[in-house]
Structure 1
């Protein structure tokens, strides 16, 4: 039994590392495609439509076998929550991809580490979290939140000189050289990315709740993909009403980005749903700083982007704040587990979530 749990935990860990690579690859492909003129809304519609098609057969098979499985029926309550998850997903994806369009995948990866800080702020606002200056954990979370937000401001508002320039001219195979982002574009992109991760903080909590009530990653992901494709299609129809040619697919990097994004994004969310059902939302956030390193290397090689001082300093501040918030949260959970559990029962720091936990 222990070996099986270790094997599963190892598989989840490896899959989560893989999803961070996946996320950066999709963002890099998207950046290359939008630099060729593709609309972010068109990308999202086709991307998630492909994702839904990929899951159509597994979804149909699982739906037919629901009576003989341990899954609960798809009640209106569960469907509404999945629909809300799709709505939140549509909003943060539109914000995020437009943010990348005006900035870079590296800034997006840095901003991803704001999620715990935003979650902590929301918890304090809604009185789900208490702050005490006498507790080290509270001080760590408050200080970490301040550092993360300060780092976000630095990365967004200060571009600075290039720390190193891209060495490979091979990036022209994906993208012709383009002018650098203006300070106003960079600030706009950073602001959109910050809003994205505020909404993601809410979506992570809802995702954990949905998977707890309906633990089928395939069915939840299929339903979410359909919702996102439809909602982004409605927004895209308005945004591109004067440009019908925006919906035409070309046989270049734009088509590659849509197909690859549809496949990789679907895998990404299935893995996240599977991981959150076993490990909880805290576990997902722990892997976010890894994406900064991946993004720097990927954008330098494939897009010819350079790493700027503002992004480097901001990324370090955000990552430091991230781990301070996570340390404070983990310490509180460990203390809580020791109080609730008998002394002989040692509960892991990131305890497993099972379907019978409320």
Structure 2
């Protein structure tokens, strides 16, 4: 009984905390890499491309045992939406961190459950019973999350000075407050797209219950999309070269 409770209740909670810690570390490494001159477009491209390569062996090691449907329009359209929401969400998020800070990104990430709850209601994936204590708690949590995120965006506050090295993660002195606001709004857009991504992913998994195949296709087509964006936004091919620095560590960590 205790083991079943652990698998059902404790492990998912621990996994969510672990994933959040990983995201915080990634945001800090990415900010450090951009301060060394790395482009957020190129970072996204390398992240998706390496993830695609890493996933290839898992397709053969863990093949799906379920009977899978053929790729028809409902499935293909949802995968395309998954790719666009995920890739552009990541690009907007990295640009937002470049304008602001990893701290702001971590604070605004609390919008994901709120946005997901609202979208689940819109797409009728969540039933709303106003008299239910569970629904009331979700509504209150949604209001608090959205209000708190906009307070963080609109109020930057004083800079906390720390004895850091040459790579400082603080927002540069004298920068315009408007850039902080733009960064915050980009991060809000990122987490809205990620909420859409979660909703669409749930629909895709119901139609095509093969986790590794879906994630592989997502990373593959997101890589192609990011390459096309980079060819337009980064015409200088020398910027594609990864030199031994924090940039390589950030790209590998993002996988």
TM-score, length-scaled by structure 1: 0.62
Matched, 1:37 2:37: yes
Match of 2:51 in 1: 51
Question: Which residue of the other structure, out of 158, 181, 191, is the alignment partner of 1:187?
Answer: 181
CA 1:221 to 1:256, structure 2 compared with 1: closer, same or farther past 3 Å?
Answer: same
Question: Which residue of the other structure, out of 203, 210, 224, is the alignment partner of 1:216?
Answer: 210
Aligned partners of 1:5 and 1:218: how far apart in 2?
Answer: 25
How far is 1:131 from its partner?
7.2
Aligned partners of 1:118 and 1:176: how far apart in 2?
Answer: 28
Match of 1:255 in 2: 248
Q: Do the aligned residues in 2 keep the contact of 1:117 with 1:148 (CA within 8 Å)?
A: yes
Question: Which residue of the other structure, out of 176, 186, 192, is the alignment partner of 1:198?
Answer: 192
What are the superposed Cα offsets for residues 45-74 of structure 1, whole Å, 9 maximum, x if unpaired? Answer: 111111111111122444xx55xx234245
Match of 1:8 in 2: 7
Q: How does 1:342-353 map to 2 (within 5 A)?
A: none
How far is 1:111 from its partner?
0.8
Aligned length: 252
Question: Which residue of the other structure, out of 98, 115, 119, is the alignment partner of 1:118?
Answer: 115
TM-score, length-scaled by structure 2: 0.84
Aligned partners of 1:201 and 1:4: how far apart in 2?
Answer: 31
Match of 1:101 in 2: 98
Match of 1:159 in 2: 156
CA 1:18 to 1:118, structure 2 compared with 1: closer, same or farther past 3 Å?
Answer: closer
Matched, 1:24 2:21: no
In structure 2, the gaps of 5 or more residues are none
How far is 1:133 from its partner?
7.4
Higher alpha-carbon Rg: 1
What are the superposed Cα offsets for residues 144-169 of structure 1, whole Å, 9 maximum, x if unpaired? Answer: 4443333222211211224x543x53
Aligned partners of 2:57 and 2:88: how far apart in 1?
Answer: 27
Q: Do the aligned residues in 2 keep the contact of 1:87 with 1:227 (CA within 8 Å)?
A: no
The RMSD of aligned alpha carbons is 2.9
Q: Do the aligned residues in 2 keep the contact of 1:36 with 1:175 (CA within 8 Å)?
A: no
CA 1:137 to 1:39, structure 2 compared with 1: closer, same or farther past 3 Å?
Answer: same
Q: How does 1:127-166 map to 2 (within 5 A)?
A: 141-162=138-159, 164-166=160-162
How far is 1:186 from its partner?
0.6
CA 1:123 to 1:8, structure 2 compared with 1: closer, same or farther past 3 Å?
Answer: closer
Q: How does 1:163-312 map to 2 (within 5 A)?
A: 164-166=160-162, 168-169=163-164, 171-172=165-166, 174-175=167-168, 179-180=172-173, 181-241=175-235, 243-262=236-255
Match of 1:70 in 2: 66
Matched, 1:92 2:89: yes
CA 1:28 to 1:71, structure 2 compared with 1: closer, same or farther past 3 Å?
Answer: farther
* Greater mean alpha carbon deviation, residues 113-122 or residues 39-48: 113-122
Aligned partners of 1:17 and 1:130: how far apart in 2?
Answer: 26
How far is 1:213 from its partner?
3.2
